[in-house]
Amino acid sequence: MAFVDQVAIDTVPKIIGPREHAVLDYGVAATFFALGIKYRDTHRPASALAFINGAMVLGMSLLTDYPGGVWRKISFPMHGAMDVVQAAVAGLGPVVMGFAGDPEAKTFYGQAMSEVGVIAATDWHAQAI
């Protein structure tokens, strides 16, 4: 049993396969990089956190054994466990970096919640088509 099976939400249907998950991952990475650029001149901690999260998601995506993975060193279920870590970085990052109450923090809280939903809805044992 993979770690992500232990954090599953039984009432959430597993409708996201490896291909869809990869598309979501690359979109999330691009969004974080865009946020990093957006916040660069107005909120340096939010910019840094956005670039950190973008690099995490992009790096995991490039290394995952799924469609769109380039080096394929990480299994899809292991990617899921690492998604839990990335969601925690996004959700706790504003607190750790001292901007928990700033409007920019809401972006990271929202992404962390979205990531939890994607983790719950992903079939970590599905085969890529």
pLDDT at residue 10 is higher than 90: no
Q: Cβ neighbours of residue 126 under 8 Å, at least 6 residues apart? A: 14, 17, 18, 76
Per DSSP, helices labelled H in the chain are 3-6, 18-39, 44-63, 76-96, 105-121
Query: Which residues, in sequence order, are bridge partners of residue 74?
Result: 64
pLDDT tier, 105 (very low <50, low <70, confident <90, very high otherwise): very high
b (16+ CB within 10 A) / e for 25-61: beebbebbbebbeebeeebebbbebbbbbbebbbebb
**What is the model's pTM?**
0.94
pLDDT tier, 1 (very low <50, low <70, confident <90, very high otherwise): low
- In tens, the pLDDT along 21-79 reads 999 999 999 999 999 999 999 999 999 999 999 999 999 999 999 999 999 999 999 99
